[in-house]
Amino acid sequence: MEAQALEHERRLESARGEEALKHAISAAELYMQAAVKAKTHAERSRLKRKCAELIALGERLKANAKAAAAASRPPVPESTRTLTTSEKTILLKASHLHGNVFPPWDSAKAPGSSEDTGATGDAYIDPSPFSLSAEQQAIFAGWKRPAELVPGAQDGLTEVDLEQSMAAVTETDFAQDLATDCSVVASLCAATRHLGPTKDSLLASLIHPFDHNAIRPAVSKNGKYVFRMYFNGTWRRVIIDDRLPASSTNRTLYVVDRRNPKLIWPALIEKAYLKIRGGYDFPGSNSATDLHALTGWIPEQIFLQSHDIELDETWNRIKKAYDDGNAILTLGTGNILPEEELALGLVKEHDYAVLDLKKDGSSRLLLIKNPWVDSLVWTGVGSSATLKTHTLGSTSANGSNQFWMAFEDVLQHFDSLYVNWNPALFAHRQDHHFKWEMPDKTEELVFTHNPQYSVLSPSRSPVWVLLSRHWQDGELDILRERRASRDRPDPSLANVSKQLGFMALALYATSPAGTRVPLPDETRRLRQGPYVDSPNTLLRYNPTPGIPQTLVVAQSDLPLPSYTFTLSFFSSEPLTISPAPEPFPYSTTLRSAWTRRTAGGSATHPTYLTNPQWSFTLATPSPISLVLSTDTRDLPVHVAVLFSSPASSTSSTSNGRSAAKRAAYVSGRDVVASSAEYQRGFASAATATARPLDRGTYTVVASTYEPGQTGRFTLRVSAAVTLSLVPVLPDAAGMLRTTVPQTPPPPRRDGSHSHSQSHAHSRRLRARVGLERLTRLSALATTTTTPSTSSVAFASASASPPASAAMVMAVRVALELGTGPHRTVLAVSREGEFADASMGLRTGEVDVEPQFVRERGGLWVVLEQIGGGGGAGSDSRLPLQGQQQQPGVQVEVLSDAVVHLGAWENADED
């Protein structure tokens, strides 16, 4: 028999393809038969070893046939960009995770060194603790090495046993049991054809020591293994020992190969990965994230329930990439109801491996595998599986929990398709690492603090951008805390993972090109990726050649105070990438709030003047940009910039107060910049760069839609020149208030009118203002209420107008020099327009000398009223029961020095 086996080996040397595979299988079978009949232990061991070698060779030949299309892959691109000192610091700090240190991989260090291979020294013990869940702990039987775990190895492992622990005898069939890492096992199942004994095997760069001649992992003499995994921005070293968690039952705590029960390298990969994710009580992930760490291949999550998904385009894209060996595919279900699980044979919130794709006539089919040891499988139309459960070691056709499923059914019953793309599809790669301190809650809805990059491409060739959030201990703490809360209304994995927040990438066209984007703007957005609760998200787009575009990193509800990230750009042409600059070189930011006293509402409300207001002065013409953002998503807000005074005006008074007018209303001719009508959460306003604001002083007003709508906000103002925001204080802040002391006579009821105003009641009153020195002053008129005739009396007197008519009143107030036709108006409210004074009408401020007043016939505060029925002056009496309130007017003079006010007198003759 051995002679026959040698003849097959001789023919094998010159054979190719299927013929070579047949000779390898025949020789292996003959050596196995010879080993059974061997008379000595040494002879039996030698023949078994030859058998194992030929079986391994057969597996390599089989894998080579499957991966023929991938046999000539181009090299994987590496980022050659020189890192800044801060970026190097970020990567070093990100090495610390879960009490361990995972340093960046030193490519200059030979991975075959004695430190890596574990070729010498005592048996290595990894001091790192590996946590277990309560369910796992209940059956945990200690950490044991492979010699204690391999079936039938109680008397020690033979050389053949050692070989079989690293080389599969037959086709692999990985399965998950009590471990909570379905995504990891699904990843290993889906990546099997890239982990096999081929010259392009990803195992060669993943695990050390490695036998490059046999193309399989080598057995470490002292049990120490070093893995090269990609996470937290770079390739890193992960060191473990070969001890695995043993079980006191027939359940297993690590991944097993049901067809090759002695194979341990999958369990070693699993252990290394779980070390960087926190332990065997791993709360869960998704396969794309896991495969990104294991292989470095670019992860993409395709949301199958999205209305935007294009069925044919998606199938064609993944089918070609899969056939070319450039894509690894996995699937994830959503939160399926228990009755649906049984009916469909699918498990909720579970990851599945895709093992093959094919077209059968007009049908597009996926071969899908459930990585669980015992589980239901798809029972729908076209399924090739049954509802049988399976045990370890099963090699039946259905024992691997595989089933064919139509692509249309996949779209209906799975939530996500995960694709990991071979980075060798691209010629160029550029990595950027950054730290992001989470903004104040009032700025979460805008982009004022978001990382942004200017990206310039010389061609339209596709650009892929991968955003990777670095793992940190705080996230694992959140997952474990939320997962352990059994009293939560929805403790599902999907709900728990959302506690880590969401992130996305968006691409914008800006002016100037490549500058920062202040806030989400659909009119300028070119591409928007989905918000995902995964640590990775991919944006694919075709750039506009020669024009910089702005890439924005967006987030929602990220719970920790700061994060570090890596942006990886993949392209066919070299890209020019830099942090996006601000469109204006200067900006100022302030935080404030609308309170019960300052939430005045929109300009349609008389309380508008109580809104928070600021002034700024431009020394030279400049465009400006304003961003107003709140901590309440549903709060409708608005920001406006109003002209206050020209450049020739004094910007401040002698006591340092702002000279800007407090806006009591919005006049179209005064508005120089305004946001769109009340938007929820944030608003922006800007002037065109080509039409800058003139020199002068301006007032900024931030408002909510309705009075009394409160909330915190942040206001950011940017310009081409330096500026500062000065609060516009409420009326009379820091000034003396003097009220006209005497109640004026009631208005005439003879139907006469003033200034061509045809109202039933009108009058013009004045009161003298006495000064002692140079004084800055203004006048303020405010509507008050006084008791009037009861509504019942009006109803019974046919000659009397209804109460609503009696309530209508418009006024204006002015400061005048002199009387009669030669008087001079120094200041007037609302530019001379009559208006409602319920929240006050104020003139502008003027500086007046006592001598000038004497020469010009005296200084007067003048009140004009149209409509209404009450008198001017304050009346603090409460209305009698059954009486309604009639409007009156109170007039005050606001000044920075003492003034003396005379009594009201009639001024209609003026």
Q: Report the distance separating Cα 45 and Cα 32, nearest Å.
A: 10
Of 864, 891, 896, 846, nearest to 661 by C-alpha is 846
**Which position has the token pair 């002056």?**
873
Query: Given 8, 182, 194, 390, which residue is catalytic?
Result: 182
Q: Please list the residues that pair with 203 across neighbouring strands.
A: none
Phi, psi of 426 (to 5 degrees): -120, 150
- The three-state secondary structure class of 894 is strand
Query: Given 350, 433, 638, 759, which residue is catalytic?
Result: 350
Structure token digits, residue 890: 């109170």
Of 65, 502, 570, nearest to 296 by C-alpha is 570
Opening angle at CA 327, ends 324 and 332, nearest 5: 145
Query: Given 232, 286, 370, 422, which residue is catalytic?
Result: 370
Classify residue 829 by its DSSP letter: G
Structure token digits, residue 641: 């910039």
**Which position has the token pair 């409420």?**
730
Q: Is 51 a catalytic residue?
A: no
Q: Report the distance separating Cα 18 and Cα 425, nearest Å.
A: 30
Q: Please list the residues that pair with 525 across neighbouring strands.
A: 508
- The three-state secondary structure class of 537 is strand
The number of residues in the chain equals: 910
Question: 295 Cβ partners below 8 Å, 6+ apart?
Answer: 191, 194, 202, 206, 230, 328, 420
Exposed / middle / buried, residue 628 (Cβ in 10 Å: 0-12, 13-18, 19+): buried
904 close to 761: Cβ distance less than 8 angstroms: no
Amino acid at 772: E
The rounded Cα 847 to chain-centroid distance in angstroms is 54
- The three-state secondary structure class of 907 is coil
Phi, psi of 906 (to 5 degrees): -70, 135
- 349 dihedral zone (left: phi>0; alpha: psi -120 to 50; beta): left
Q: Report the distance separating Cα 386 and Cα 376, nearest Å.
A: 8
CA dist 725 to 261, 612, 615, 728, Å? Answer: 73, 12, 6, 9
Distance from first CA to last CA of the chain, Å, rounded? Answer: 133
Q: Is 96 a catalytic residue?
A: no
Classify residue 869 by its DSSP letter: S
Question: 714 Cβ partners below 8 Å, 6+ apart?
Answer: 440, 442, 443, 448, 589, 590, 591, 628, 629, 630
Q: Report the distance separating Cα 875 and Cα 352, nearest Å.
A: 80
Q: Is 370 a catalytic residue?
A: yes
Q: Report the distance separating Cα 645 and Cα 618, nearest Å.
A: 11
863 close to 829: Cβ distance less than 8 angstroms: no
843 close to 779: Cβ distance less than 8 angstroms: yes
Residues annotated as catalytic are: 182, 350, 370
